[in-house]
Amino acid sequence: MSTKSVTLKSVTKTFIDDQNKFVHAVSDVNLVIKQGEFATLLGPSGCGKTTTLRMVAGFEEISTGDIFFGEENVNKISPNKRDCTMVFQSYALFPHMTVFENVAYGLKIKKLPKEEIERKVDDIFAIMNLTEHKTRMPSQLSGGQQQRVALARALVMEPGVLLFDEPLSNLDAKLRLLMRDEIRRLQKRLGITAIYVTHDQSEAMSMSDKVIVMNKGKIEQIGTPQEIYQRPKTKFVADFIGTANFINGKISKVTEDELFIQTEDSVLKAIRHGDFSVDDAIQMVVRPEAIHLLEEESGEIKGKVVKSVFMGQTQDYEVEYNGVNLQVTVHNPMGERIYQVGEIVSLHFPRESLHVI
3-class DSSP state of 174: helix
For residue 25, state whether it binds ligand ATP (rule: CB under 6 A). yes
| Smallest separation (angstroms) from ligand ATP to the CB of 17 | 5
SS3 197: strand
- 1-20: which residues touch ligand ATP (CB under 6 A)? 15, 17
**DSSP code of 329?**
E
Q: Does 201 bind ligand ATP (CB under 6 A)?
A: no
Query: Read out DSSP for 215-263?
Result: ETTEEEEEE-HHHHHHS-SSHHHHHHSS--EEEEEEEEEE-SSEEEEE-
- Shortest gap between Cβ of 60 and ligand ATP (angstroms)? 8
β-strand 258-262 against 267-271: which pairing, if any?
antiparallel
Sequence-distant (6+) residues with CB within 8 A of 35 are: 3, 4, 5, 191, 193
Q: Are 179 and 150 in contact (CB under 8 A)?
A: no
CB of 52 to ligand ATP, least distance (A): 7
**Min separation Cβ 50 and ligand ATP, Å:** 3
The count of residues interacting with ligand ATP (CB under 6 A) is: 13
63 binds ligand ATP (CB under 6 A): no
User: What's the closest the beta carbon of residue 44 comes to ligand ATP, in angstroms?
Assistant: 7
Secondary structure E strands in the chain: 6-16, 22-33, 38-42, 64-69, 72-73, 84-87, 161-165, 193-198, 210-215, 218-223, 245-254, 258-262, 267-271, 281-286, 292-294, 302-310, 314-321, 324-331, 344-348, 355-356
Min separation Cβ 86 and ligand ATP, Å: 14
The 3-state DSSP class for residue 303 equals: strand
Q: How far is the CB of 207 from ligand ATP (least distance, A)?
A: 17
SS3 171: coil
Of 49 and 133, which CB lies nearer to ligand ATP in the complex structure?
49
Q: Select from 176, 199, 233, 287 the one that contacts ligand ATP (CB under 6 A).
A: 199
CB of 157 to ligand ATP, least distance (A): 24
CA distance 151 to 164: 9
User: Contact between 50 and ligand ATP (CB under 6 A)?
Assistant: yes
Q: How far is the CB of 215 from ligand ATP (least distance, A)?
A: 9
Backbone phi and psi for residue 88, each to the nearest 5 degrees, phi listed first? -100, 160
Q: Out of 31, 42, 48, 221, which residue is the one contacting ligand ATP (CB under 6 A)?
A: 48
- Decide if 190 contacts 123 (C-beta within 8 A): no
Residue choice 5, 12, 14, 23 for contact with ligand ATP (CB under 6 A): 23
Among 19, 45, 78, 332, binds ligand ATP (CB under 6 A): 45
Q: Which of residues 92-151 bind ligand ATP (CB under 6 A)?
A: none
Residues 286-345, interacting with ligand ATP (CB under 6 A): none
Determine if 46 is a binding residue for ligand ATP (CB under 6 A).
yes
Stretch that binds ligand ATP, among 49-57, 138-146, 255-263, 298-306 (CB under 6 A): 49-57
Q: How far, in Å, CA of 91 to CA of 340, rounded?
A: 50
- Taking CB under 6 A as the binding criterion, the range among 40-48, 151-159, 318-326, 334-342 that sits at the site for ligand ATP is 40-48
Of the pair 26, 270, the CB lying nearest ligand ATP is at 26
Residue closer to ligand ATP (CB basis): 216 or 272: 216
What does the alpha-carbon distance between residue 245 and residue 238 come to, in Å, rounded to a whole number?
A: 9
Which residues contact ligand ATP (rule: CB under 6 A)? 15, 17, 23, 25, 43, 45-51, 199
